[in-house]
Amino acid sequence: MAGVVDVLVVGSGPAGRAAAAACSDAGLRTGVIDPAPRRGWPQTYAAWRDELPALPGDALAATAPQVLVRGTGWHGWHRTYAVLDNTRLWQHLWRADVTEITGRAVGVEHGPTGSTVVLRDGRRLAAAVVVDASGSSRALLGGRPARTAAEQTAVGAVLDARDAGELCPAGSAVFMDWQQAPHTRGGWPSFRYTVPLGGGRVLVEETSLVRRPGLPLAQLRRRLTDRLAEHGALPDARLREERVRFPVDDPLPAAGRVIAFGAAGGFVHPATGFSVAASLRSAPWLAAAISAGLAGGPSAAVRAARQVLWPPRALSGRLLHRRALHALLGLPGAEVPEFFELFFGLPRRHREGFLSWPGDPRVTAAAMSALFARAPWRLRRRLAAGTALPRARPADRGLGGH
């Protein structure tokens, strides 16, 4: 790649592609670095339809106008749930003028007029601003934190809709079903997640919402097999298997000259694991901040981007979500379904407010207070103890301790 670009984006997943597309649309010379920039995205991405930005209709593989949830009893939730079509979304985010660089970023050096990204093969690429959208690997942000992460793990089976049967009622998705899988005897609980994928296919997934460390995939696979067998879905009916493992409690990266974006930048919602909708919505703001800030130099552009991605209100909302996550991790496994029964029984404004990203801290606090008020005293004691977070490092309190 000849010359210096305005923005180099590390990572070409949905967050990286969204950032690159938005920067290109803002008139910035943009490049994307990835070991395989043209590879597809094998994961299934979903979101609440009302949290997605405007997308072409064919970027949605399937929608369900209602989700079903079960803690200890069933609840219907009329909120449209959307599964993204990865190929169409990739096409929507592709830009002809974004330079694609095949390689693995392993380091970055900063100077007064910009930054230089170092690739594993020794190449050096110059840019005014660098965006790390490499997901949980955090390629240019110091790598993985030196601690055991709280993880969401899951194993899913893609079935023909005819084989899924009652597991996926027409017009609905099963967001969480905490009924124990057959033959499960204690241990950390997992739930069934079932969504239509379009094209007559359904994903049935056994999910551990959060555990430190994550529940082993082999254990989830056994539970999924037993759950499918209970409903008459034979092992050879599976069209493919999907495996999920990612951290949900990574601290925000410390302030520096690299802009953290997407899952690398703390966008993962600890209660759902969602991050793609947040990345798609935030990308134009990121690009606008960089474009405006570059007039004052690279450091000014990075500060502007950080401020627009993580204003004080968003940082406060994130802190409350982390407190809720810490409380959930402190519950005995047997009490987790009861916790979600209380949550699903909250008024809609509380449920939707808590599950939004990054969340209005007042709305999030109101939802947490409402759940606490409904909880029995034994659960209140555990929740009260669990919401006390360990002393935060500067990067956990905000970006660079601000």
Token pair belonging to 367: 């939802």
Tell me which amino acid residue 70 is: R
Chain-centre distance of CA 248, in angstroms? 8
Contact 168, 174 (CB under 8 A): yes
Distance of alpha carbon 18 from alpha carbon 93, whole angstroms: 6
Q: Considering only CA atoms, which of 133, 131, 120, 135 is closest in space to residue 6? A: 131
Query: ∠ CA(124), CA(125), CA(126), 5° rounding?
Result: 125
| Separation CA 14–CA 82 (nearest Å) | 16
Residues near 103 by Cβ (< 8 Å), separated by ≥ 6? Answer: 33, 34, 35, 119, 120, 121, 123
pLDDT tens-digit profile, the chain (402 residues): 556 899 999 999 999 999 999 999 999 999 999 999 999 899 999 999 999 999 998 999 999 999 999 999 999 999 999 999 999 999 999 999 999 999 999 999 999 999 999 999 999 999 999 999 999 999 999 998 888 999 999 999 999 988 888 888 888 999 999 999 998 888 899 999 999 999 999 999 999 999 999 999 999 999 999 999 988 887 677 889 999 999 999 999 988 999 999 999 999 998 889 999 999 999 999 999 999 999 999 999 999 999 999 999 999 999 999 999 999 999 999 999 999 999 999 999 999 999 998 878 999 999 999 999 999 999 999 888 866 545 444 333 333 322
**Please, how many CA atoms are within 13 Å of residue 383, restricted to the half-sphere of its CB?**
22
Instruction: Report CA Rg, the chain.
Output: 21
Token output for 260: 């953290």
Closest C-alpha to 216, from 224, 205, 208:
208
Residue 41's nearest CA partner among 88, 9, 104, 82 is 88
Q: How many CB atoms lie within 10 A of CB 173?
A: 26
pLDDT at 171: 87
Distance CA 178, CA 87 (A): 32
**Distance (Å, whole) CA 396 – CA 402:** 10
pTM, two decimal places: 0.92
Instruction: Describe the crossing of helices 336-344 and 361-374 by its angle, rounded to 10 degrees.
Output: 120
Q: What is the pLDDT of residue 62?
A: 96
- Position 327, amino acid: A
Q: Which helix (H) or strand (E) holds 117?
A: strand 114-119
What does the block give as tokens for 391?
């002393």
Residue with tokens 């180099």: 8
d(CA 90, CA 40): 8
DSSP 167: G
Measure CA 110 to chain center.
29
Q: How far is CA 249 from the centre of its chain?
A: 11
Q: Measured at the alpha carbon of residue 117, what is the angle toward residues 150 and 274, in degrees to the nearest 5?
A: 30
Sheet with 81-84, edge to edge strand ranges? 46-48, 81-84, 60-64
Q: Name the phi and psi angles at 343, rounded to 5.
A: -65, -45
